[in-house]
Amino acid sequence: MKKQKLILGLSGLLLVFSACAQKPAAIKKAPAAGVTNAEGVNTLSYTLVDEKGASREIIITSTGGKTGFLNAVRVDKMHTDDSGENHPVTKADVSSGNMKVTFYIPVINSTGTAEATYNTNYTHTVGWYAAFDGYRLSPQKVMITVTQWAEAGGYIEGIFSGTASLINENKIYDSDNPAPTCTIKNGKFRILRVKDQTSYGGEG
């Protein structure tokens, strides 16, 4: 299995989900497509603690399902893993203004946990990414847990926490000047699930 890790950011920031994964335990078959997309309100929040111990509450609220992709959860057919097999993943995109969070994990039709350690792994089977105001979060170790699964038209809920590098896009970092580490606490999400994607390039 590949594991995934999550990372966070600070100041008026928000996160982005994307990361590297360990191999998924047992990936279950994705639900059938053909369900009409629904609309609803999504919420994603967490407490961001910087390297100096200062904390900030981050809350994103957005309308879901209008595009069937952004601001919603769906099951995607993704790239192949090391064995050459295709695996569906649960993918979420949540955005509001210039804040965006994306994550995808190999938890299908069930609850479960994935560990993100990079913005994405090359097979796109697990990842966590966040961007906002010229910053991005690069996970060092972020745990994402689905606590409630739902059919299309319902809400998928979960929690997340971990550590991440807070990267200022206008700065250059190296081993002598690394990006600061932040802690993500009390992360949670409730995101509308829309129609699944069963092929590359679109839904259905």
The Cα–Cα gap between 12 and 56 comes to 8
Q: Binning pLDDT at 50, 70 and 90, where does residue 79 land? A: low
Residue bearing the bigger pLDDT, 8 or 99: 99
Quick one: pLDDT at residue 97? 80
Boundaries of every domain in the chain:
16-192
Q: Tell me the per-residue pLDDT of 144-177, one tens digit each, with 9 for 90 and over.
A: 999 999 988 889 999 999 999 988 888 888 888 8
Q: Tell me the per-residue pLDDT of 125-144, one tens digit each, with 9 for 90 and over.
A: 788 888 878 888 889 999 99
Quick one: pLDDT at residue 77? 67
Quick one: pLDDT at residue 189? 94
Please, is 32 exposed, middle or buried when counting C-beta atoms within 10 Å of its C-beta (0-12, 13-18, 19+)?
A: exposed
The closest alpha carbon to 132, from 5, 8, 2, 40, belongs to 8
